[in-house]
Amino acid sequence: METAKVLLDREMDSPVVARVRTVLAQEADTELADLHLWRVGRAQFACIISVVTHGEASADRYKARLKEIAELVHVTVEVNRCADQHRTEQP
Ligand SMILES: [Zn+2]
């Protein structure tokens, strides 16, 4: 299914991708592991993101933050917890 992959990846050049990254970069302890975006309308996009955090942030929290991007009409968020203790706790 190479054709489907090409169609999917073409939207990755959209400015919306950068805006999603910017929004998520404002969240503490959040690493973006995966991001897929595709166009579902003239100026409407759906996206799937996967993040890794050591904290308790829920998928709903990230969805709420991404609501500021009006073009995103459907957002799916997968939150993965990193259980490692390698991160230095900030006082
Ligand atoms: Zn970790």
Query: What's the pLDDT at 71?
Result: 96
Cα gap 70→43, rounded to integer Å = 9
Instruction: Using the mean position of ligand 1's atoms as its centre, give its distance from the Cα of residue 65 in Å.
Output: 22
Ligand 1 mean position, distance from CA 54 (Å): 6
Question: What pLDDT is recorded for position 64?
Answer: 97
Q: What is the mean pLDDT of residues 72-82?
A: 96
Over residues 70-91, the mean pLDDT reads 83
Q: In what order do the strands lie in the sheet with 31-41?
A: 31-41, 44-53, 72-81
Q: How far is the CA of 82 from the centre of ligand 1 (A)?
A: 5
How far, in Å, CA of 86 to CA of 54, rounded? 10
Q: Which residues surround ligand 1, an ion (CB under 5 A)?
A: 82, 84
Options 3.30.70.1350, 3.90.550.10, 3.40.50.300, 3.90.220.20; CATH for 2-81 is 3.30.70.1350
Q: What is the pLDDT of residue 1?
A: 46
* Model confidence, pTM: 0.80
Per-residue pLDDT tens over the stretch 2-55? 555 555 566 777 899 999 999 999 999 999 999 999 999 999 999 999 999 998
Going by the DSSP 8-state scheme, the letter that residue 82 receives in this structure is -
Predicted local confidence at residue 90, as pLDDT: 53
Q: Please state the domain extents for the chain.
A: 2-81
